[in-house]
Amino acid sequence: MINSFFNVPKPKNEPVLNYKKNSPERKSVLNEYDKLFNTKIDIPLYIGDDKIFSKKRKKIFPPHNHKHELGSYSIAEKLDVKNAIKSCLKSKEKWENLSFENRSSIFLKAADLISGKYRFKINAATMLGQSKNIYQAEIDAACEFADFLRFNVLFASQIYSNQPIQSNGVINRLEYRALEGFIYSITPFNFTAIAGNLCAAPALMGNVVVWKPSDYQIYSANVIMEIFEEAGLPSGVINMISGDPNEISEIVLSHKMFSGLHFTGSTEIFKILWKKISNNLTKYLNYPRIVGETGGKDFILAHKTAKIDELVTSIIRGGFEFQGQKCSAASRIYLPKSISKKVIEKLKDKLSELSIGSPNDMNNFITSVIHEKSFDKIVDYIENARKDKNANIIYGGTYDKSIGYFIKPTLILTENPNYITMREEIFGPVVSIFEYEDEDFNKTLDLVNNTSKYGLTGAICSQNRNIIKHATEILKNAAGNFYINDKPSGAVVGQQPFGGSRASGTNDKAGSYLNLLRWVSPRLIKETLNPPSNYKYPCMD
């Protein structure tokens, strides 16, 4: 027992390395990429002390080179899922009773491993498995992941130190218990950092976790488990299982001790999961916490006073970074007619400079989309637009899946503000543009607000302060992350807590104390120093 109140380190955002030509970091990450590319890996299930290499396996291929096998991963049987839950529950007591400074040291060490010893490995794994170019891999796998772990320690300490007031003869203590049961984390393909954070955040708060990563992030998920293990995370605290998501979820979500879902992925899957949880409600010991961050149809609304070069940059970076596969990617753009011609010309000009190809060629801004199903879905949107009289493909529209799932950045101009690509999440390098009459700015604000079911991110570009103020007010519920003169993507932990409402999720703001609060169940302890010994009120004497 140590008798001290400890302070936690003050976190800083991990600096982003630039990977310039001849830089040591560029050499290191390319070496690591080549090494991983030329090694076949077998990824196990991580259940308690065991690494289980199942008989049933699936192969892993880089999306940009889908004939090259990187190895395989294990497919969980029903018994493995049950064992993962057992293993959680077995580790629970020891883990939740480990003091906060010990739990936090493990995750702080993991952050140092991510930004140090494992930096190039986790980046290279993200480049290979998820086809991120080095800049996108660095800001995600190395920096954002380390930031999540470091900032969460600070946020957790702030939560724990938040205590009720005292009164004469009464001591009030608030204890932030871990949830009574286990957490189920289901994670998407598109961010290594999100995958790691969705299991690490509840674990930091003393919870035990069954983690089901995406099949299309499994390659870097394995590096995450390697790092957690090296950081000293006791086995059984986070159990990683992969396989049929439906089958796994059926078992996990019908367990009495299921106490929380930490999900990021598409809106459709989140709704399915929520319904399953509702159907099983009578089976649970507690009402489970449900946290889900889902899709977006993120906008950039330009006013006639917008600066054209800044606007064009926001559209290119916001719309096409990581091939538009960010929940926050700008995918519907509203341009006033007085500047739209110029903006579109510049956009086409800049887009023509973007090179497309494998992420190990560091000149490539665009690489491939994640898998064939996604490729086909995006191509359908493009081909439908080509046939539709409401839409006009003004840039791109070509694609090729012979080597990797490559789609050229595509611009669709539409005269119908409710055209399908202005409403639905495409999750690919396709940006739709609607032009409006300058004097219809207020009508356009209503359009932006009401066109799509989502409410994740959006941006206003203008140099007029009154317009900025007005748009910020009218679009209050259109975006959980609202940007002024910027792209609507690229949230940084500790700076821009991230999440949206409407169909975009429960808006529990990953990378903030708000998210961590969902993983604790406070217990109030009142101690009375001089308890009354007579039931009568003073007025009764």
Q: Is 186 in the site for ligand NAD (CB under 6 A)?
A: yes
Task: Please say whether the beta carbons of 484 and 475 come within 8 A.
Answer: no
Q: Is 296 in the site for ligand NAD (CB under 6 A)?
A: yes
Q: Is 266 in the site for ligand NAD (CB under 6 A)?
A: yes
Told to judge if 93 belongs to the known catalytic residues of this protein, a careful annotator would answer: no
Task: Compute the CA torsion angle 473, 477, 478, 484 (nearest 10 deg).
Answer: 40
Q: Phi, psi at residue 263, to the nearest 5°?
A: -120, 140
The least distance separating ligand NAD from the CB of residue 443, rounded to whole angstroms, comes to: 28
d(C-alpha 169, C-alpha 150), whole Å: 38
Which of the ranges 158-166, 172-180, 277-285, 291-299 carries the binding residues for ligand NAD, by CB under 6 A? 291-299
Return the number of the residue (335 or 491) whose C-beta is nearest ligand NAD. Answer: 491
- x/- mask, ligand NAD, residues 484-513, rule CB under 6 A, reads --------------x-----xx--------
Return the number of the residue (72 or 360) whose C-beta is nearest ligand NAD. Answer: 72
Return the number of the residue (283 or 526) whose C-beta is nearest ligand NAD. Answer: 283
The least distance separating ligand NAD from the CB of residue 327, rounded to whole angstroms, comes to: 3
d(C-alpha 49, C-alpha 239), whole Å: 10
Q: Is 264 in the site for ligand NAD (CB under 6 A)?
A: yes
Return the number of the residue (115 or 504) whose C-beta is nearest ligand NAD. Answer: 504
Task: Compute the CA torsion angle 464, 470, 474, 475 (nearest 10 deg).
Answer: 30
Element housing 174 (H / E): strand 170-178
Return the number of the residue (114 or 273) whose C-beta is nearest ligand NAD. Answer: 273
Return the number of the residue (62 or 505) whose C-beta is nearest ligand NAD. Answer: 505
**Which one is catalytic: 88, 143, 199, 327?**
327
Residue 222: partners with Cβ closer than 8 Å, 6 or more residues away: 41, 43, 73, 125
Task: Please say whether the beta carbons of 244 and 47 come within 8 A.
Answer: no
Return the number of the residue (327 or 385) whose C-beta is nearest ligand NAD. Answer: 327
**Which one is catalytic: 14, 138, 144, 293?**
293
Return the number of the residue (277 or 343) whose C-beta is nearest ligand NAD. Answer: 277
Which of the ranges 60-68, 162-170, 190-198, 530-538 carries the binding residues for ligand NAD, by CB under 6 A? 190-198
The least distance separating ligand NAD from the CB of residue 377, rounded to whole angstroms, comes to: 10
Q: Is 105 in the site for ligand NAD (CB under 6 A)?
A: no
Q: Is 245 in the site for ligand NAD (CB under 6 A)?
A: yes
Instruction: Report the residue number whose CB is nearest to ligand NAD.
Output: 265
Among 272, 290, 308, 468, binds ligand NAD (CB under 6 A): 272
Query: How many CA atoms within 13 Å lie on the side-chain side of 426?
Result: 34
Q: Phi, psi at residue 127, to the nearest 5°?
A: -65, -45
Residue 297: partners with Cβ closer than 8 Å, 6 or more residues away: 331, 332, 422, 423, 424, 425, 451, 452, 453, 454, 456
Report in angstroms the alpha-carbon separations of 381 from 269, 326, 330, 466. 21, 18, 16, 37
Among 190, 314, 414, 444, binds ligand NAD (CB under 6 A): 190
CA neighbor of 500 nearest in space, from 353, 310, 299, 202: 299
The angle at the Cα of 100, spanning 97 to 104, to the nearest 5 degrees, equals: 125
Residue appearing with tokens 């690489």: 367
The least distance separating ligand NAD from the CB of residue 294, rounded to whole angstroms, comes to: 5
The least distance separating ligand NAD from the CB of residue 272, rounded to whole angstroms, comes to: 5
Interstrand relation of 298-302 and 289-293 (parallel, antiparallel or unpaired): unpaired
Buried b (16+ CB within 10 A) or exposed e, 456-493: bbbbbbbeeeebbebbeeebeebbbbbbeebbbbbbbb
CA neighbor of 225 nearest in space, from 208, 243, 237, 207: 237
Told to judge if 327 belongs to the known catalytic residues of this protein, a careful annotator would answer: yes
Q: Is 214 in the site for ligand NAD (CB under 6 A)?
A: yes
DSSP reduced 3-state for 60: strand
Element housing 431 (H / E): strand 430-436
Return the number of the residue (91 or 192) whose C-beta is nearest ligand NAD. Answer: 192
The least distance separating ligand NAD from the CB of residue 176, rounded to whole angstroms, comes to: 24
Q: Is 425 in the site for ligand NAD (CB under 6 A)?
A: yes
The least distance separating ligand NAD from the CB of residue 31, rounded to whole angstroms, comes to: 29
The least distance separating ligand NAD from the CB of residue 215, rounded to whole angstroms, comes to: 6
Q: In the β-sheet with 330-336, what is the strand arrangement from edge to edge?
A: 391-395, 410-414, 430-436, 330-336, 298-302, 457-461, 481-484
Q: Is 269 in the site for ligand NAD (CB under 6 A)?
A: yes
Which of the ranges 95-103, 260-268, 309-317, 469-477 carries the binding residues for ligand NAD, by CB under 6 A? 260-268
Q: Is 462 in the site for ligand NAD (CB under 6 A)?
A: no
Q: Is 327 in the site for ligand NAD (CB under 6 A)?
A: yes
DSSP reduced 3-state for 94: helix
Q: Is 294 in the site for ligand NAD (CB under 6 A)?
A: yes
Kindly determine how many residues on this chain lie close enough to bind ligand NAD according to the rule CB under 6 A: 30
d(C-alpha 109, C-alpha 112), whole Å: 5
The least distance separating ligand NAD from the CB of residue 76, rounded to whole angstroms, comes to: 12
Q: Is 295 in the site for ligand NAD (CB under 6 A)?
A: yes
Active site residues: 293, 327
Per CB under 6 A, residues contacting ligand NAD are 186-191, 194, 212, 214-215, 245-246, 249, 264-266, 269, 272-273, 293-296, 327, 425, 427, 456, 498, 504-505
